[in-house]
Amino acid sequence: MKTTIMALTDEQKREFDENGYVIVRNLLTHEEVEAVGKRADQIAMGEIAQSASAVQVEPTIQRNEETAKSELESVRKLSSAARTDSILHAHATNPKILDILEGLIGSDIKLFDDQLFMKSSAHGSRKNYHQDSNSSMMSKYVPHSLVSCWAALDDATVDNGCLWFIPWSHKWGRIPVEREREIEKQALADALVNEVPIELKAGDCSFHHSLLMHCSRANRSTSRRRGYATQYMSAKTKFSGEGTPYRTDFLLLRGEEYPGCV
């Protein structure tokens, strides 16, 4: 029988249902954070082999508009590394994370994808307001109720580009991309009154609904802000039939497979 290590309280579940996110403090140990952070830096520096498409450089550096302080600080994001790297796979399958997810999406859990955001000091770029379920990859899977675990590998603050959420926005359903752009314009004009910063200490994790509007601001501090987002869905999720599936070999992490589902 599976032993639950970490479970959400009824109040935390209500908070997620109402606001579209919940924060779990100190979910990861110092050792767990250090292991993921060290491996992220190794991949970014090319010390651990990954596919070329897995490493994304900051746009301004790629366009030679800025010069990074180091090769490491030039990296913006690492993608889809948990499937092939043992350290990142161990994080994505951490029972403490899966126990939290079980309270949010049920006991049949699959890994959708992962992104490790490096957000270097001084020139880590802004990520515009968006819904994850509007991405070209995630939009093809229904229902639109995937959940991301965003694990802080460094302290995430307003100064170094923490996430910002718009509470309750997951209740809007999928919105047109044009509406996302309107919200981003309002945010840049400081005209959004309901956005909230999600400041985290290293080891804290936020869990957010794939329809929740969120962004991260640019890093204008002298410290990096690394965060590892692992995305999960119920094994009962289905391909919408629109376009080409993102993939057909999603990893089952807990529970059962279902015919006709992902």
Q: What are 61-95's pLDDT values in tens digits?
A: 888 888 888 888 899 999 999 999 999 999 999 99
pLDDT of residue 3: 59
pLDDT of residue 232: 98
Task: Look up the CATH number of domain 10-254.
Answer: 2.60.120.620
pLDDT of residue 48: 83
pLDDT of residue 94: 98
Average pLDDT over residues 145-161: 98
Phi, psi of 88 (to 5 degrees): -70, -30
Lowest mean pLDDT of 50-59, 101-110, 132-141, name the range: 50-59
Contact 42, 80 (CB under 8 A): no
Provide the total of helices (H) and of strands (E) in the chain, helices listed first. 6, 14
Joined tokens for residue 39: 């491996």
pLDDT of residue 66: 84
Bridge partners (DSSP) of residue 188 are none
| Cα gap 65→218, rounded to integer Å | 16
Please determine, for residue 192, whether its predicted confidence score (pLDDT) is greater than 70: yes
**Residues ≥6 apart with Cβ < 8 Å to 260:** 238
Q: Please name which of 133, 148, 144 lies closest in space to residue 207, comparing C-alpha atoms.
A: 148
Q: Please name which of 190, 214, 200, 116 lies closest in space to residue 158, comparing C-alpha atoms.
A: 200
**In the chain, domain spans:** 10-254
| Cα gap 26→229, rounded to integer Å | 16
pLDDT digits (tens, 9 = 90+) for 19-66: 999 999 999 999 999 999 999 999 998 898 765 458 888 888 888 888
Q: What is the mean pLDDT of the chain?
A: 94
| Cα gap 20→14, rounded to integer Å | 9
pLDDT of residue 53: 54
pLDDT of residue 258: 98
| Cα gap 181→109, rounded to integer Å | 32
